[in-house]
Structure 1
């Protein structure tokens, strides 16, 4: 699995990627049912299977930044904020070698990779997309990625409780619905 190849550079990434994929599957099912969107099984599977690739661009990030135990400098933050663009570039290089039968799956993967750090209010990166400009699949993975990051111990922070993480996400008005909350 391509995404797991990042394990060589970041020992914790495999567990994060698998948790994100598992949580994405649960959220897609609940969201589809709750909002009565009638998303196709194929589309939901594309989201779930592509979610594991969301951080593939970190393979191009300097280890000194990935492993830094404290806060990032403004320069380091700019570097790490490039990982969605680097991930999109990696996927595009790979897609040149693939036949057209999987193109729709790759479009979902690219949306997730490129836009999983965008925010509903337009303050995210790399393109500062706002609201429904952010593809649904990227909104779903963004919520899951934030939740997992908050509830996992990192070199620079302790893990948060599930309740605290959900409160943070709710108060930030992160949204995956088709309408702002």
Structure 2
């Protein structure tokens, strides 16, 4: 019985942590206007989308909420095959039947490069969403705030967290997330209102 409670506690902790990450550095309720959903690629060495990229594409497409939307697939080549951006776009179109506006950023090899290289594609939109595993998406949002606070102020939540999804893998995602976010300073994860209040003498 104790093992059951321990497992339940671990699963609850990982759900809470992933949910928290998915809601950090975003402004809920940002509706209307134009929208860009950035889908970040993950280590795709072959010509077809791997399991992680297939999930990220689905999360990105279900994050679309407006009429004036674009999906930006971001990721360069990590092997001998096509760029991750192209692989994800092909999966979105041929398998999921997405026929909306798609833009490709196919040069990036790191999260920092993902963010840097998609910036020109975000200048004219009212709302920005970044779709990936919650910790990775948070890292990208923090990088965007470093580079372009004005664009980061447009960040809205993506639909990349759902309770029970990836349930048994979430503890591993939580541990990996803690590791990948370790270099972010606490202020870089602080919501906008906290930063503003901290500046008030």
TM-score by length of 1: 0.34
TM-score by length of 2: 0.32
Which structure is richer in relative contact order (CA contacts within 8 A, separation 6 or more)? Answer: 2
Higher percent of residues as strand:
2
Higher percent of residues as helix:
1
